[in-house]
Structure 1
């Protein structure tokens, strides 16, 4: 019989309900006999012994909260009876021993990727159109729209345009509003996409944003570094950049950031400044001509076999729930360990969601300097957040709390499982670039789109994104593979979610088996054999982090 509860770590004094448990139910599967004091919803936690006010609440073997009132054995853990608390951390001895997985069956495997001059390998081949400042967003949109239709990347009419046309026809026939709302609309799938002119260019993507002017010097440098990360990214073949001219984010700063990341940068890059060119139409005509020539060059790059150590995987979560830390996140952690063992790189970000596990991560850093950098970034970020009336303890969203993540430390202890068990080889500040194989830590907010945006800028050529509540998040240039923590979510939202790890709670496979299934899917997506659903549905989310604002 499948267990209905889980005590994650031997030291824990709370356990997780794997299914909704009724009040007065007796739990006795290795936890001792516990009579539940109230109904425990699935994903939520209950006390394994009586807790007094001020007692530590332990989960994943770490401090995740403090009792703010007495909690009876078998009582539901809620925001009304515990508050966030996390252990302090300091520099200690290195602890870089890890559970290295058996990688024998993958050592000779390859994926089909796009090889770049700097030695990196892309899992896709995109052209970018980038505004240096929000004033150019309209021009960027116009340029992309013209190219997408003419080059065969866009259907002449979307499904929703076809629906609207049907509604217009009903309106003209005199249908009432109620009839229009309730009538079934039969829409045939629109298949009128023209054949792509450049078959080896996966897409023409834009990076619209709201920054570039009137910000601080740090904002300007960070934006230019972020954009440079995308231009030099292995999934990008080249770029067209539109600048107004008078903004803070100057083209010269962008070029400097590009050559910081790639001293031998040789991709086609076209920089156009509207105030120098003058006429807007003339600028867009020039941009169109140059972009077309660049696409011709970029289309010459073909997929070729590449070692799996060329994979650089972003580890991300969003819309997390009470199962995230026991299904999808540890399964992704197993994938991370496989990739590191093969010589590849992974990047764990979302620093507000590492609150409470700082000691473990700092101990795993390969040297003292790396550990000190991580601790410094964590403390500085938290202090800045507190200075504007918040703190890491404010990170959990309403949805997180509703589905069992009561404190930030509880959320963090589960979120950190995505990083696996390998040593931390490097710590990067935003918007840094990954230069070392192994587990990298990147300072970003917990906001999933801002964090994913940053992981890709750092070099992630594929992102694993776990979710318990469901989110359509994607990225313009990097495949984002969505992984559900529970089967109910997967069945409900499998149009945007690729893989289900609710099978772990369902008792159908182990964490390791789920991880290996994810890894095999990664190879297919990286090779272009399968398209990640977020990308197939054009969820091209791009949000730069304006530092100090979001958690």
Structure 2
């Protein structure tokens, strides 16, 4: 039988409700009776002992806020009676030796991937078409329209069928009321054409608003990010469109690529529009070169690769009060298994590590790594404060509504995505993840900016936990969406790939869910299972301009 509540750490004075609890409910928590002063909805927290005003509130064994006024036992925690607070962090404390989980089941497992000349292995084989400056976005769209449908990369759209039906109804005299209430088409759209290039998983067209008009640092960061995508093992080659006069120059991109891979050998076509000719001639050259590149990379086929060649990006978005109890710990266990197998994992979203800095500092492999992390966190926090938007403003209305009252409460759960292994490296935005094991990557908490950065730092697979639901995907790295609760998985099945809600109901342990999740990740990495984001065509790409984005 499922529990009604959960105390996450013996030191905690906050308890999580696992189901809706009525006013007056009496619970026995840590050997004492607790009389609920108010109704507590599932995912929300209540005190299990009296907490005087100004005293810390704890979850996961860390400070997640302070009491604004005296809080009797059984008080519902809200934004009115709780203030933002975290515990300070300093240098590393002695840490226990990490004990890896049992990996016997996976030691001889492989995934089917695309082997690259630099030794990396892709979980997909994409061709990129990208602009160096926003002025080329229209030409990118022209190429998209010219290539995708004829090559078999788009399938007929259900909404297009509905539009055709509504046009017919309107022409037959239907008024606005009839248009709003007419049934949707029941016939499924016809299948798309067979793919011309069966070993090319997709042609991805990335547009953005950068490359000129901002600072020179913005242009360099954009080129570093684009270089990260070109060097990502899921990318077989690329077509790059340049106007010619922009800040993000071709030489800047080539230098960024060379810093990552001096022997870069993928097919790469860079065209400059101001070099001459009409726009039609320019796009025709780009199309011909892209087609030739597709012919080239279609010769690369999936081959067995060890699980150590996986680089897993870790992301959360639309988090709820169950995310830190189910989906994030399950992902953390999968990460520990992958790290023990020699793979890589990248934990991002620095605003959502606020409050658990000391725990991560203690896990850093050496003092230099710890100092890099604390420097980046202090710098980011100071910049947020200077802009009048500290980390305490990170929780969204949806987070708060579903039980994440403070940033530290959100962070304490979000950090569980990273498992328990040592932190091997701390990376600046766009830096490549090269060390085996867990790395921390400086990104904002914004879902798309962060997933964009994860792929730019080399993630060939992304695991994304959510409690409220999100359609977010990525152009090159498959994004596996993990639900924290049964209700979400049932309500939005088209967005969810894996349901960790069984941890809440008692059907599954964290370890069991983590093991099942790793099995799914291997299937996705091998191309045997597609993700919801892939099926929806969700290819989100937003570079971070290094302003304050929480």
TM-score by length of 2: 0.99
- 1:175-194 map, 5 Å: 175-194=174-193
Shift of 1:29: 5.1
Contact 1:94 1:365 in 2 (8 A): no
Deviations 1:94-129 (A, max 9, x none): 526224100011000000000000100000000000
- 1:20-35 map, 5 Å: 20-28=20-28, 30-35=30-35
In the other structure, the counterpart of 2:383 is 384
- 2:500 maps to 1:501: yes
Contact 1:468 1:484 in 2 (8 A): yes
Alpha-carbon distance in structure 1 between the residues aligned to 2:435 and 2:308: 11
- 1:209-220 map, 5 Å: 209-220=208-219
SS in 1 for 2:213: coil
SS in 2 for 1:57: strand
SS in 1 for 2:209: coil
- 1:124-143 map, 5 Å: 124-143=124-143
Number of aligned positions between the proteins: 550
- 2:425 maps to 1:430: no
In the other structure, the counterpart of 2:445 is 446
In the other structure, the counterpart of 1:101 is 101
Deviations 1:198-238 (A, max 9, x none): 01001100110011101112211110000000011100000
Deviations 1:5-64 (A, max 9, x none): 000000000100000100000111545210100000110000011111101001100011
Change in 2 beyond 3 A, CA 1:368/1:96: farther
Deviations 1:253-273 (A, max 9, x none): 011011111111000000001
Shift of 1:92: 2.5
SS in 2 for 1:224: helix
Deviations 1:125-163 (A, max 9, x none): 0000001011100000111210112211123x4211110
Alpha-carbon distance in structure 2 between the residues aligned to 1:112 and 1:31: 52
Alpha-carbon distance in structure 2 between the residues aligned to 1:548 and 1:171: 48
Contact 2:14 2:59 in 1 (8 A): yes
SS in 1 for 2:113: strand
Deviations 1:395-434 (A, max 9, x none): 1101001100000000000000000000000000001101
Shift of 1:278: 3.6
In the other structure, the counterpart of 2:273 is 274
Alpha-carbon distance in structure 1 between the residues aligned to 2:62 and 2:391: 17
Alpha-carbon distance in structure 1 between the residues aligned to 2:46 and 2:536: 39
- 2:153 maps to 1:153: yes
SS in 2 for 1:222: helix
Moved more, 212-221 or 322-331: 212-221
In the other structure, the counterpart of 2:304 is 305
- 1:409-488 map, 5 Å: 409-488=408-487
Shift of 1:187: 3.3
- 2:388 maps to 1:398: no
Alpha-carbon distance in structure 1 between the residues aligned to 2:378 and 2:284: 49
In the other structure, the counterpart of 1:323 is 322
Contact 1:487 1:503 in 2 (8 A): yes
In the other structure, the counterpart of 2:526 is 527
TM-score by length of 1: 0.99
Change in 2 beyond 3 A, CA 1:423/1:503: same
Alpha-carbon distance in structure 2 between the residues aligned to 1:53 and 1:218: 46
Alpha-carbon distance in structure 2 between the residues aligned to 1:39 and 1:197: 59
Contact 1:501 1:514 in 2 (8 A): yes
Alpha-carbon distance in structure 2 between the residues aligned to 1:185 and 1:346: 43
Contact 2:482 2:500 in 1 (8 A): yes
Alpha-carbon distance in structure 2 between the residues aligned to 1:396 and 1:431: 25
Shift of 1:186: 2.4
Contact 1:3 1:29 in 2 (8 A): no
In the other structure, the counterpart of 1:40 is 40
Contact 1:467 1:483 in 2 (8 A): yes
Contact 2:479 2:531 in 1 (8 A): yes
- 1:115-264 map, 5 Å: 115-155=115-155, 157-264=156-263
Change in 2 beyond 3 A, CA 1:31/1:484: farther
SS in 2 for 1:150: coil
Alpha-carbon distance in structure 2 between the residues aligned to 1:99 and 1:327: 22
Q: Structure 2 unaligned segments of length 5 or more: list them.
A: none
Contact 2:161 2:185 in 1 (8 A): no
Contact 1:96 1:365 in 2 (8 A): no
- 2:353 maps to 1:341: no
Alpha-carbon distance in structure 1 between the residues aligned to 2:364 and 2:95: 8
Alpha-carbon distance in structure 1 between the residues aligned to 2:285 and 2:31: 71
Alpha-carbon distance in structure 1 between the residues aligned to 2:25 and 2:102: 41
Alpha-carbon distance in structure 2 between the residues aligned to 1:328 and 1:307: 26
Q: Structure 1 unaligned segments of length 5 or more: list them.
A: none
